[in-house]
Structure 1
Amino acid sequence: MSHELLKISNATGRWSGIGPYYAMFPREFAFDVVEKYSEIGQNILDPFAGRATSIYAAAALKRYGYGIEINPVGWLYGKAKLNPASKGKVLLRNSKIGEIANTITIDELNSLPEFFSYCYTETVLRYLLAARKALSWDKSSTDATLMAIILVHLHGNRESSFSNQMRQGKAMHPDYSIRWWQERNMLPPEIDPVEFMINRIEWRYAKGLPENNESKVILGDSTSRLKEIGRKVRTGKQSPFDLLFTSPPYYKITNYYYDQWLRLWMLNGNNKPTWTGEKWKGKFESMTAYQTLLNDVFEDCSKIMSKDAIIYVRTDARKFTLETTKDILSRVFPNKSMKITAQPFSKETQTALYGDKTIKPGEVDIIMHS
């Protein structure tokens, strides 16, 4: 039944697709888990929300979802589809960005690395710089919605994005991209960015707005945010959660910040890819740091779950990631039985697309009941 909601012929399905993002939950999977392992009106928690597919499924299926995501790209996708602003406000804001684009100076354009002139036309780049400067995406619902739609189309196929030919899910390294374009004599597409965005906004809103019931995704670090939720549960301001449904980052798989450097630049980040040194924002090269993260997050989760809560965690089938996850979950939820379900990859993985040809055993679903 829930899969009917995911058709693009209705609002729920159309908004559910916002945001290309690395290693995201398949939408059908998220809706299936929420429908099978929770009931209408129950509370669902995801401390590693990504683009908030789990929380979106909760809202669409009349549950209350609460997610936490540390990466602003994923968080923005989730916020926009859970609580999009009205179409009229977004269209007006898009028009205003077009006006601001005319005030962008040559000096501002010339201050960017050469990658940007290979990736975008001057007209598009003026629009992007105006949006980057003017949109308060972290405070305004209208600005968040417009910025999320910009991010979707920031790079991808040359025929359907702002950029020269690129992958949509991951921004490649600038030097590699320039060489690739030069070898093929490829230029960025000549488009009117305001009109381009009008068409994308109109399509997104064509079937209306998705229903929501105050489900939300919070931008922040779960190791601190969960403690705040714990205080609310203890004082009765927040009901305990009935389903923990999440997928933690996998050990040594990818760096979400490096891979999303161009979208992060749009959100006022660096104008070139960097390996962030901030806590919990890297590739998890350290086994100890990875164990600490999972231990701290799942221990805090255990304190805000209802007595009969169900735990559903999708993780990597490689030995260290899987055993670490199983051991920690067993320790923090000692009174629950554990079921392991293998989910072998049925097609080429996303990491294979980026040059990682190692054999992967797939993923594993860990399900725990009282």
Structure 2
Amino acid sequence: MEFETLDEKDWSEIKDSSSKELTHDIHPYFAKFSPEIPRYLIREYTDEGDVVLDPFSGSGTTLVESLSLGRNAIGVDANPLACLIAKVKTTKLQDGDRRLAREVISDISTDVNSLYGQQNLIGKSFEEPEIPEFHNRDDWFNKNVQKELAVIKRRIEDVQNERVYDALRIAFSRIIVGVSNQDSESRYTQVENDVDNKECLERFTEQANRILDKLQTLEAEVPGPVETDIYNEDSREMDGVPSNCADFVVTSPPYLNSWDYGLYHKFRFKWLDLDVDTFNQREIGRHLRRKGDKVSRYRDDMSAVLENVARVLRDDGCAVIVNATSVVDGEHIDTNDILVEEAQKHGLTLGNSVSKEVYGPHFGMRANSDKMEENQKFEKMLVFHEAD
């Protein structure tokens, strides 16, 4: 597999608008790389029907692009919220799913109206739902917001159709930060946020209908009977992924000392009954967790992942990793060198013409970036082959 065309590609042409295509923008998620990167790589270096694997699949950018190009896809991620987002992004709804979803949305509207003492249109007595308990809940969510979210959550939990259930859970998750007292998606600071009565309902209804429309767009783009398998697993283990199953790997690993997904999505985990503590133990490279051994721990973690990448790749397969350097405690760390060194230990060799600097479409560098030279604010493509 030859990669000379990577040097001919003008990656500065990548536009952020591509993230709004297909189902890519149905839910916020940090540091997503531009869909143009996996799209180009998959289109140029795989064939229809091949299997593309992303061991850090996140919210599913690689998986969506694989499906749209007629490739099968496998995603692995330790984050259960990310896996749920990716699952919905790659779901093909069946006959009646949209009708059922809109019936549930209508029922939720009735329940919220009942919450505020308006006529119960279905003629049944209304009981206020139980609100999930978690630390400082009343500081982060106003009382009216808590009640409306609990009403929406209860009705969704009654849905038996898995495809509809998941889609509505993502619509629910989509609105949680916006109606909370968290400052923003990427700023875990408490602010005052006056949310009107029924605003949660309005936001949920808008997002649910938007997701249904987006999934219909995806269905029209998927060319054949391709499938996606998503594993909510530790990428250092990948127990569920069989050996020699992938023709191509394309991924962007967590950047050392960058985003803390468990923190910024904390309230989504709580309202969706997801296990944030287990995820925090699995998350690689997370920011502000431990001192002293961040770099050595990152090296060990990525070595374990690369060992699995070598295991799942077929003999003639290759892996493309999009990565950037990091700053840890004021020191510049070239994580590209770490990846190359650890990959070699597991029989993966960096090709001669496979490095390509790409200005960061999802560059997530945190503090101290002013201490880095300008050319260090780039992401690099590393293409690995099985050693001869």
Query: TM-score under structure 1 normalisation?
Result: 0.76
- 3-state SS, counterpart of residue 344 of structure 2: helix
Indicate how the Cα distance of structure 1 residues 139 and 261 shifts in structure 2: closer, same or farther if over 3 A, else same.
Answer: farther
**Structure-1 residue corresponding to 2:265:** 260
Of 125, 133, 149, the residue aligned with 2:146 is 125
Of 187, 190, 194, the residue aligned with 1:187 is 194
- How far is the alpha carbon of 1:297 from its aligned partner? 1.5
Separation (CA, whole Å) in 1 of partners of 2:255 and 2:140: 34
Unaligned segments of structure 2, at least 5 residues = 1-13, 116-125, 327-332
Query: TM-score under structure 2 normalisation?
Result: 0.73
Unaligned segments of structure 1, at least 5 residues = 157-161, 234-239
Are 2:165 and 1:143 aligned?
Answer: yes
- How far is the alpha carbon of 1:195 from its aligned partner? 4.1
- 3-state SS, counterpart of residue 329 of structure 1: helix
Are 2:111 and 1:91 aligned?
Answer: no
The answer (yes or no) to whether the contact 1:276–1:282 under 8 Å persists in 2 is no
The answer (yes or no) to whether the contact 2:66–2:72 under 8 Å persists in 1 is yes
**Structure-2 residue corresponding to 1:330:** 344
Are 2:286 and 1:283 aligned?
Answer: yes
1:52-131 alignment to 2 at 5 Å?
52-83=60-91, 85=93, 86-98=97-109, 102=115, 105=128, 108=131, 116=138, 119-120=141-142, 122=144, 124-131=145-152
- How far is the alpha carbon of 1:24 from its aligned partner? 1.1
- How far is the alpha carbon of 1:192 from its aligned partner? 4.3
Identity of aligned residues (%): 16
CA deviations over 1:63-88 (Å, ceiling 9, x no partner): 01100111122111111110154322
- 3-state SS, counterpart of residue 306 of structure 1: strand
Of 207, 225, 250, the residue aligned with 1:200 is 207
Indicate how the Cα distance of structure 1 residues 251 and 324 shifts in structure 2: closer, same or farther if over 3 A, else same.
Answer: same
Larger radius of gyration: 2
Indicate how the Cα distance of structure 1 residues 257 and 206 shifts in structure 2: closer, same or farther if over 3 A, else same.
Answer: closer
Of 227, 242, 246, the residue aligned with 1:214 is 227
Separation (CA, whole Å) in 2 of partners of 1:369 and 1:140: 39
The answer (yes or no) to whether the contact 2:234–2:282 under 8 Å persists in 1 is no
CA deviations over 1:135-173 (Å, ceiling 9, x no partner): 4599922211111122223234xxxxx456842x3352x
- How far is the alpha carbon of 1:130 from its aligned partner? 3.4
- 3-state SS, counterpart of residue 281 of structure 2: coil
Separation (CA, whole Å) in 1 of partners of 2:49 and 2:302: 28
Say which is worse superposed, 19-28 or 214-223, in terms of deviation.
214-223
- How far is the alpha carbon of 1:248 from its aligned partner? 1.3
Indicate how the Cα distance of structure 1 residues 95 and 346 shifts in structure 2: closer, same or farther if over 3 A, else same.
Answer: closer
CA deviations over 1:231-263 (Å, ceiling 9, x no partner): 6x5xxxxxx211111111122112210121122
- How far is the alpha carbon of 1:191 from its aligned partner? 3.5
Separation (CA, whole Å) in 1 of partners of 2:259 and 2:323: 14
Of 312, 321, 326, the residue aligned with 2:335 is 321
Indicate how the Cα distance of structure 1 residues 351 and 313 shifts in structure 2: closer, same or farther if over 3 A, else same.
Answer: closer
What's the RMSD between the two structures over aligned residues?
3.6
CA deviations over 1:194-228 (Å, ceiling 9, x no partner): 34333333333346242352113222222333x33
Q: How many residues are paired up? A: 334
Indicate how the Cα distance of structure 1 residues 98 and 25 shifts in structure 2: closer, same or farther if over 3 A, else same.
Answer: same
Separation (CA, whole Å) in 2 of partners of 1:282 and 1:63: 30
**Structure-1 residue corresponding to 2:380:** 364
Are 2:340 and 1:340 aligned?
Answer: no
The answer (yes or no) to whether the contact 2:139–2:181 under 8 Å persists in 1 is no
The answer (yes or no) to whether the contact 1:138–1:144 under 8 Å persists in 2 is no
Q: In structure 1, what residue type is equivalent to 2:255? A: Y
Are 2:246 and 1:241 aligned?
Answer: yes
